[in-house]
Amino acid sequence: CRCRALLSRPAGRLRARRDLAAGPDMHFGFQTVTEEERRKKIYQVFESVAKKYDVMNDSMTLGIHRLWKDILMHKMNPSPGTLLLDVAGGTGDIAFRFINYVSSVRERQLQRKLKHHQNLSWQEIFESYQKDKFNSLGDSQVVVCDINREMLKVGKQKAQHLGYSEGLSWVLGNAEELPFDNDKFDVCTIAFGIRNVTRIDLALQEAYRVLKPGGRFLCLEFSHVSNPLLSRLYDLYSFQVIPVLGEVIAGDWKSYQYLVESIRRFPPQEELKAMLEDAGFFKVDYENLNFGIVAIHSGFKL
C-alpha cells in the first residue's frame, strides 16, 4: 500500500528575509522567483512540452539521450524480481528500458534452466508448475511517478502503443513528498528530473526513505563541462540552437530557454555528490558521460 509517511518538514529551512510572505527566492532558469512560483512555472513548462517531449529530446541531443539512458540501465544491471521506482519518469523512457532489460535477463535465466533441467531441485520443478509459465519479468516491477498529469498521460499512451503493460504502474506524485511507504524499493532512479525539483534536498531525503536497506539511488542529469573549449561550444549550441529548435519543432521558445538556463544553474558533480551524502547515502560516486555534459550519480542506503 502506498500510505504517506509522516514527514515533519524542517521548519528552519526558510532563510530569514525581509518579506517572508512570498517564501525564499529561487531560480527559474536565470529569473529570480519565489518557491511557489517556481513550482508553478515548471509545471506549466512540462504541461506545454509533454506532447513533443520525445521529439525534442531526439532533436536536441541528436538521439544521444537514448544512449545515456541505456548506459544508466546497464549501470543499474537489475535482476529479475527488482522493484524500481522511477521518479519524474514522465514519458516512461527508463521504465520501458527496465522492462526490456529484466525481460532479456529473465529469458536467459529460463533458457539456462531448461538446458540444465536435470539440475533442478524438486522444489524448483514444483514451483515452475505453480507459477505462470510466462513469468517473463520474473516479478520485476516498475512504478513511474511524476508530478505532471500531461507527462503521465503521454507515458501511458506510449506504453499502450508499444505494448507494455505487465509490471508497470503509473502514479501521480511529487518527488519532494513521495506517496510511498518507507523501505519499499530496490532501486530509485531520477533521469533528467531532479533539475526541475524545487527542493532537491527533500527529493534526495525522500528517495532515501522509500529505498530498502541495500537499495540504490541513481540520478542521471545534465552536469558541468570542465573542459574550457568544449564548454564554450556546448554553451554556444545550448543557447543559440536549442531555443530555436524549441520554437521550430514545438512552437515553444520559452520552455527550451528555461531548459538550457536550468542546466547552467544546477549544482555541479561534486556538489551534487555532497548533497547525496547529506541525505544519508553511502558509497556516493559519479560517472561523467560525454565530458560532463551528463553525469550519473549513484548512492546506497545501508
Q: What residues line the site for other proteins (CB under 8 A)?
A: 30-33, 240-241, 243-245, 247-249, 251, 253-254
Closer to other proteins by CB, 171 or 249: give it: 249
Closest to other proteins by CB, 43 or 239: 239
Of the candidates 219, 216, 230, 226, the residue with the CA atom closest to the CA atom of residue 195: 219
Shortest Å distance, C-beta 248 to other proteins: 4
Pull the grid cell for residue 84: 524500481
Nearest residue (CB) to other proteins, 172 versus 248:
248
Task: Tell me the C-alpha distance between 170 and 35, whole Å.
Answer: 26
| CB nearer other proteins, residue 32 or residue 104 | 32
Select from 64, 273, 299 the least CA-distant residue to 189. 299
CA dihedral 105, 218, 82, 70 (to 10 degrees): -20
148/238 with CB nearer other proteins: 238
Backbone angles phi, psi at 119, to 5 degrees: -95, 5
- Minimum CB–partner distance for residue 132 and other proteins (Å): 46
Question: What's the one-letter identity of residue 251?
Answer: G
Sign of the dihedral defined by the CA atoms of residues 110, 116, 119, 125, in that order = positive
Local structure of residue 251 (DSSP, 8 states): S
Smallest distance, other proteins to C-beta of residue 53, A: 18
CA-nearest of 71, 68, 59, 69 to 94 is: 69
CB of 254 to other proteins, least distance (A): 8
